């Protein structure tokens, strides 16, 4: 069972902020912003590349509800999903990072000049 499936099952504790039949939102254990929430489907889906549009429709509404619940909807937030090896995905279960609570920086993510190389 993957780490987030264990969180769904309650085998690993999580600090939950919102939950419904399909999704859970909980605080990231290693926050990189004042507010750093992970949002996952309860069903095991490997990553964004394998999610269906139907599940994403419900997930979009849930993420919007989480942002409202945490009062991030007025000042804004960043939503990130790391997909696969090059995307830096470590947990093999679809999750979105919801980041906010401060004005976030946007920096180069590789050593290279991203305009010149891909």
By the criterion CB under 6 A, which residues form the site for ligand AMP? Answer: 3, 12, 14, 28-30, 38, 82, 88-91
Taking the complex as a whole, the smallest distance from the CB of residue 3 to ligand AMP amounts, in Å, to 6
Q: How many helices (H) and strands (E) does the chain have?
A: 3, 5
Q: Which two tokens stand for residue 34?
A: 């004042």
Q: Which ranges constitute the DSSP H helices of the chain?
A: 3-9, 53-69, 84-87
Nearer of residues 85 and 105 to ligand AMP, judged by Cβ: 85
Check 27, 36, 44, 95 and give the catalytic one. Answer: 95
Taking the complex as a whole, the smallest distance from the CB of residue 34 to ligand AMP amounts, in Å, to 15
Nearer of residues 90 and 113 to ligand AMP, judged by Cβ: 90
Nearer of residues 51 and 91 to ligand AMP, judged by Cβ: 91
Q: Among this protein's residues, is 36 annotated catalytic? A: no
Q: 11 exposed, middle or buried (CB, 10 Å; 0-12, 13-18, 19+)?
A: exposed
Tokens 């069972």 belong to: 1
Taking the complex as a whole, the smallest distance from the CB of residue 115 to ligand AMP amounts, in Å, to 25
Contact, 5 vs 44, CB < 8 A?
yes
Residues taking part in catalysis: 95
């Amino acid at each position: 069972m993957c780490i987030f499936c264990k969180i769904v099952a309650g085998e690993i504790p999580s600090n939950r902020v919102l939950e419904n039949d399909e999704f859970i939102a909980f605080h990231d254990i290693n926050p990189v912003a004042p507010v750093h929430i992970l949002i996952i489907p309860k069903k095991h889906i490997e990553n964004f590349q394998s999610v269906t549009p139907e599940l994403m429709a419900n997930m979009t509404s849930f993420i919007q509800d989480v942002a409202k619940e945490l009062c991030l909807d007025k000042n804004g937030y960043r939503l990130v999903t790391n997909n696969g090896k090059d995307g830096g995905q470590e947990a093999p279960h679809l999750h979105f990072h919801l980041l906010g609570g401060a004005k976030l920086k946007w920096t180069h993510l590789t050593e290279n000049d991203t305009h010149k190389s891909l």
